[in-house]
Amino acid sequence: MIERTLCIIKPDAVAAGNTGNIIAHIQKEGFRILGMKMVALSHKAAAKFYEVHKGRPFYDGLVDFMSSAPCVPIAIEKESAIAEWRRVIGATDPAEAADGTIRKLYAKNKGENAAHGSDSVENGLREIAFFFTERELADLA
Ligand code: UDP
Ligand code: MG
């Protein structure tokens, strides 16, 4: 099944100058880019995006981090995109991420971990709609 997922190049990776490197992974792995922008999330917007994690011990720090500096959400599409993108980014904690994965290569720690990936088809569509209107999603051939 062709699926869509949301990548976010997180503030740590943008600040470290790894935006282009991470886009190169997206392209090398054969994802189609449907939409991409740089945004400075407000604290309120970051809290809304991650509200599924509200109450978890890392939630407040995660919201602070994601609203601390610009990030780059990218809507991408591929066969089995949800699992495929999670394979490409690697485990949440870079110490546990496989060699060659984005988090192994670029993450600072388990919180500032370079890239986001959606965890289900349903959440991927919801997360893409959080950042992009229908008109912004290019239906490229
Ligand atoms: N996170 C954290 N500490 C944790 C678990 C998660 O700081 O113990 C942060 C981290 O930035 C992670 C995000 O919260 O990417 C969302 O957590 P999730 O468990 O959904 O991990 P992911 O799906 O991003 O691998
Ligand atoms: Mg997750």
Q: Give the per-residue pLDDT at 119.
A: 98
Percent of the chain with pLDDT over 90: 97
60 pLDDT more than 80 = yes
Q: State the distance between the two ends of the chain, measured CA to CA, in whole angstroms.
A: 17
Domain edges within the chain? 2-136
Q: Give the per-residue pLDDT at 16.
A: 98
Q: Establish whether residue 130 lines the binding site of ligand 1, counting it when its CB lies within 6 angstroms of any ligand atom.
A: no
Q: For 39-68, give one letter per residue: b (16+ CB within 10 A) or e.
A: eebeeebbbebbeeeeeeeeeeebbebbbb
Q: Establish whether residue 111 lines the binding site of ligand 1, counting it when its CB lies within 6 angstroms of any ligand atom.
A: yes
Task: Pick from 108, 113, 123 the residue to mutate for probing ligand 1's pocket: most ligand atoms within 8 Å of its CB.
Answer: 113
Q: Please tell us whether the domain made up of 2-136 is placed in CATH 3.40.50.800.
A: no
Q: Give the per-residue pLDDT at 70.
A: 98
Give the Å distance between the CA of 110 and the centre of ligand 1: 7
Query: The pTM is what?
Result: 0.97
Q: Give the per-residue pLDDT at 139.
A: 72
Q: Establish whether residue 82 lines the binding site of ligand 1, counting it when its CB lies within 6 angstroms of any ligand atom.
A: no
Q: Which atom of ligand 1 is nearest to the CA of 66?
A: 11
- 8 Å CB contact between 47 and 63: yes
Q: What is the mean pLDDT of residues 40-59?
A: 98
55 pLDDT more than 80 = yes
- 8 Å CB contact between 137 and 34: yes
140 pLDDT more than 90 = no
Distances, alpha carbon 117 to alpha carbons 55, 82, 114, 123, in Å = 21, 7, 10, 10
pLDDT in tens, 2-49: 999 999 999 999 999 999 999 999 999 999 999 999 999 999 999 999
